[in-house]
Structure 1
Amino acid sequence: MRVSLPVSIVLLASTTVLSAEDDRPNFILCMADDQGWGDVGYYGHPVLQTPVLDEMAAAGLRLDRFYAAHPVCSPTRGSVMTGRNPNRFACFSWGHTLRPEEVTVAEALRDAGYATGHFGKWHLGSVRAEDPVSPGGSGFDEWMSTPNFYENSPLFSHRGTVVETEGESSAVTVEAALEFIRSCQEKDQPFLAVIWFGNPHTPHEALPELRALYPDATKAEQNYYGEITGIDRAMGLLRSELQQLGVSENTLLWYTSDNGPQGKSPGSSGGLRGAKASLWEGGIRVPTIIEWPARITAPRVSDVPGFTSDIYPTLLELAGASVEHQPTLDGESLVPLIDGVMSERNHPMGFWVYDRKGISTPAAKLMQQLKDEQDGKIPAGEPPALTPAARMEVEFNPEDRPGHACWIDGPWKLHRILNESGDADYRLYNLDKDVLEESDISDDHPERVRRMQDELDAWQRSVIRSLNGEDY
């Protein structure tokens, strides 16, 4: 595989003076695109081959109740970047963006002396250098990114300049990240590397050698399973190189997915109800593993609930970083969970699919257009405008709360679903006893429903206040 970089990777100097021996951990955040909770061998998939992920799950911290903060891609990615529910900054659905006013994990860690790099799918803005919500505008010094999902030999934007790559989609992405990691290791500088794969999102185009691993499967299954095995092999390449560089011991490697499987794909939710775009368990519960040999010294499995909004506060605590004017967070630090001293979550988790349409972001077309501009074939373009909501030109009513929402507190999950007349119906499930969410027990627990309903309503009003710009 080959990644063609027109210029060498340059790590920008931080205003923070580093000590001669900076022993803070490195961070690598890996995220698959539409990989379901059941799309791994370690949960018993009968066909899928994921030996590296299986090894990680057996050696590290396996999180069995980890959730995407939203059941589609851009909002979940926004939650990773900010530690906040994506509706707070108008990232309502796929193709919506960050707000420039948000504080990202890359900005916070860069200010604390970390080198920061993004590789692969972005989907929180364009990948034009001048865009305030590009990876570069969002705190990443180094980036090889594309605006949405991508297939093999993709065009990437290297800090705004289009470069060609050659090879399997996930492997090319990891190889780009490894160049950055090697540069950080040479400078003895701690780093944040965000690796967001483009698979197994449609259209599913696995290499022949990966399809051949599944001779008895249908063509659709061969491509889908092959793409996930491609991710698995790329994770193997990443872990092997970290070991060779001597940085694996003190590197926190966090693997997860952005949402559940697409409903019409061969993807698996592991039998859970629902799929991508749904707040039922199958739409938001995702496979998640944390490896950090220096701190997670023995394998563990946890059923403490967590979600992607927790990543930001966890990394900031571990790095000793702080943000002077921190907007309201929805996530909480999972450092106690990493250290094995957390038996339950401190705060409930809110989820909300605000009723807004997605925005088309055809990566291949957009990258070819940017390349043609840079080759002088067509006039230079501009980054797409932010939505009126992202520009805070729309005032949202805290009493108008459209869409499906839910509130998770320990084993209890309360759904708020609008009926045909626009009124809210509430359904309660005990996930310890009914993980498939088949039996609504709200009538049996009226006091619990009232308390959770009040908490959910208060949280949604808080989200609307943020959406209206009160956090900035």
Structure 2
Amino acid sequence: MTEKLNVIVFFTDQQRWDTTGAHGNPLGLTPHFDRMARAGTHLFNTFTCQPVCGPARSCLQTGLYATASGCYRNGIPLPPGSRTLAHYFKDAGYATGYIGKWHLAAHEPVPQEERGGYEEWLAANLLEFSSDAYDTVLYDNDNREVKLPGYRVDAQTDAAIRYIDRHRDDPFFLFLSYLEPHHQNHTDNYPAPDGYEEMYAGKWMPPDLQALGGTAPQHLGGYCGMVKRLDEALGRLLDCLKSLNLQQRTLVLFTSDHGCHFKTRNSEYKRSCHESSIRIPCAMTGPDWLNGGQIRELVSLIDLPPTLLDAADIPVPAHMQGRSVMPLIRREKSERRSEVFVQISESQVARAIRTDRWKYAIHAPERSGWNDAGADRYEEQFLYDLHADPHELTNLIGMDSYEAVTEQLRQRLIARMMEAGEQAPVIVPAVSRAGGQRCASIAERRADISNGPVPRC
């Protein structure tokens, strides 16, 4: 590259992957994201490594798993001296800016020493408490309260466009962190722009929510309206880059911290191993050399920090625990990525591994997810066959016909825990139960038939 690559992270909060047309949503919520996915790089199978706000953000800022950084639950600020993306980009000669929700500090407003090294600041630690949908309040570099006009998504986007215009001649790294489509905590609702909820209420519903209900009938219309406005903001941002002739020297990454299961898997919206909690949208656009088409390899949120640095030709620190996806985008080598690892905290101490086909999860019922980052003893909790049951409606854990699969996944999960810096735990197998006609493959079923009476159908 002859000039530095600008980098913008367009970061949403609690957005499911299947809100996008690129993943089959029929409501037309995300035409701009879908265009990014078609023309740029679509990381089709992307997953968070921690399905809760603060810990996921710590992973994305530091490139470390939440247990390694110490930010394993909400309310734990980044430790003093933590190196974030802002530090690496600043050291490489970039202006750095942060707009929106931070959720990695101990104070509100966030003092300079708790801002992760970002130079230009217009943010709130807990945006859901400092603002409302039409009452956007952020804090500037001097911790002065700044009230921005308009719907909250639009207010932040306006601020981002002003930042880009000010730095049009500088290499810059901008982290644009929205609250939407997260719920508004004090009312427990999803406040879309006026008129938007009505467009989507009672329309298409993802199959897991159709089966399990939860609060989706009440909340999905507003949630979809928020997603729609976010996508319109993405379009405005891309228009800004085009108008300033910055498209070919600016990488834009769109992703989210975690998904939303609408109180179908526990008593709130995330903090579970299920696809609805952990699978997120992710796409990049930028210079032509950065556009790699659709990539089906499994990618974790922990892989995105080294990816951004690699794309900007900044050395990736050896201590970062993810792997850049740039070799996949550049088609430099074939690299098999067959699993992602998830740490779950707050509601429980749990771990999970997600492969192309399987979801395997364990938990430590004697430990508090708030007080304990991990455990030395876990029990098996879930096993899902995602090929046969993509909406995770039938838990196979303990079925005798899946013992071999479970044992393999158990060992793979332990290996991933150790790679993340955890000690190898004891995992207590689930109580065995008859699988009936259920088995992992037709070959196994044939073997069962050859060894005894043909099962009834």
Distance 1:32 1:224 in 2: 12
Unaligned stretches of 5+ residues in structure 2: 185-189, 204-216, 368-376, 425-457
- 3-state DSSP class of the match of 1:132? helix
Q: Supply the distance in 2 between the matched residues of 1:286 and 1:303 (Cα, whole angstroms).
A: 14
Distance 2:402 2:274 in 1: 16
Give the C-alpha shift of residue 35 in structure 1. 1.1
Distance 1:285 1:404, change over 3 A: same
Q: Which has the higher contact order (CA 8 A, sep 6+)?
A: 1
Corresponding residue for 1:226? 225
The letter of the residue matching 1:156 is L
Amino acid at match of 2:60: V
RMSD: 3.1
SS of the residue corresponding to residue 114 of structure 2 reads coil
Structure 2 distance, partners of 1:280, 1:454, is 19
Q: CA–CA distance in 1 between the matches of 2:80 and 2:419? A: 23
For residues 340-370 of structure 1, what are the alpha-carbon distances to aligned partners after superposition, in whole Å with 9 as ceiling and x for unaligned?
345444685432124x47xxxxxxxxxxxxx
Alignment of 1:199-210 (within 5 A): 199-203=180-184, 204-210=190-196
After TM superposition, the structure 1 stretch with the greater mean CA deviation from structure 2, 283-292 or 314-323, is 314-323
Match of 1:451 among 411, 422, 441: 411
Which secondary structure state, in structure 2, belongs to the residue aligned with residue 139 of structure 1?
coil
Q: How does 1:414-425 map to 2 (within 5 A)?
A: 414-418=360-364, 423-425=378-380
- Out of 296, 301, 306, the position equivalent to 2:294 is 301
**Equivalent runs, 1:53-452 vs 2, <5 Å:** 53-125=33-105, 126=107, 128=109, 130-134=111-115, 138-148=116-126, 149=128, 150=131, 151-159=133-141, 160-185=143-168, 188-203=169-184, 204-211=190-197, 213-214=199-200, 220-264=219-263, 276-297=270-291, 300-322=293-315, 326=317, 328-341=319-332, 343-345=334-336, 349-354=340-345, 356=346, 403-408=349-354, 411-418=357-364, 423-425=378-380, 431=386, 435-437=390-392, 438=394, 439-440=396-397, 442-445=402-405, 448-449=408-409, 451-452=411-412
2:270 partner SS:
coil
1:468 is matched with which residue? none
Aligned mates of 1:307, 1:121 — CA distance in 2:
21
Give identity over the alignment, percent: 27
Distance 1:262 1:216 in 2: 17
Which residue identity does 1:154 align to in structure 2? Answer: T
Pick aligned residue for 1:34 from 14, 24, 40: 14
Distance 1:120 1:464, change over 3 A: farther
CA distance in 2, matches of 1:345, 1:103: 29
Change (3 A) 1:453 1:317: closer
User: Which has the higher mean CA deviation after the structures are superposed, 334-343 or 436-445?
Assistant: 436-445
- C-alpha distance in structure 2 between counterparts of 1:223 and 1:445, whole Å: 40
Per the alignment, in what secondary structure is the counterpart of residue 138 of structure 2?
strand
Distance 1:245 1:35, change over 3 A: same
After superposition, the C-alpha distances for 1:181-229 in whole angstroms (9 at most, x for unaligned) are 11221xx321111111111111322222434544766774443222111
Change (3 A) 1:328 1:411: farther
Give the drift of 1:451. Answer: 3.2
CA offset at residue 32 of structure 1? 1.1
Q: Deviations over 1:415-438 (max 9, x none)?
A: 223357964227555645654454
1:330–1:349 CA contact under 8 A, matched in 2: no
CA contact (8 A) 2:200 2:222 kept: no
Q: Is the 8 A contact 1:344 1:410 kept in 2?
A: no
1:290-328 CA-to-partner distances (Å, cap 9, x unmatched) read 112422446x222111111112111222223247xx573
CA gap of 1:423–1:304, structure 2 versus 1, over 3 A, is: closer
Aligned residues: 384
Structure 1 spans left out of the alignment, 5+ residues: 1-20, 358-401, 466-472
Q: SS at 2:242's partner residue? A: helix
The match for 1:362 is none
Change (3 A) 1:443 1:105: same
Q: In 1, distance between residues paired with 2:291 and 2:406?
A: 44
The CA deviation at 1:142 is 0.8
Structure 2 CA distance for aligned equivalents of residues 146 and 342 of structure 1: 41
- The letter of the residue matching 1:163 is V
SS at match of 2:75: coil
* Length-normalised TM-score, structure 1: 0.73
CA distance in 1, matches of 2:275, 2:341: 13
**Are residues 139 and 295 of structure 1, via their aligned partners in 2, closer, same or farther at CA, if it must alter by over 3 Å?**
same
| Shift in Å, 1:338 | 2.0
TM-score of the two chains, using structure 2 as the length reference: 0.75
Q: Conserved in 1, the CA contact under 8 Å of 2:96 and 2:174?
A: yes
1:259·1:284 contact (CA, 8 Å) conserved in 2?
Answer: yes
Following the alignment from structure 1 to structure 2, what is the Cα–Cα distance between the partners of residues 416 and 172? Answer: 42
* Amino acid of the structure 2 residue aligned with 1:328: H
User: Residue 288 of structure 2: SS of its match in structure 1?
Assistant: coil
Q: Which residue of 2 aligns with 1:8?
A: none
Distance (Å, rounded) in 1 between the aligned partners of 2:337 and 2:199: 44
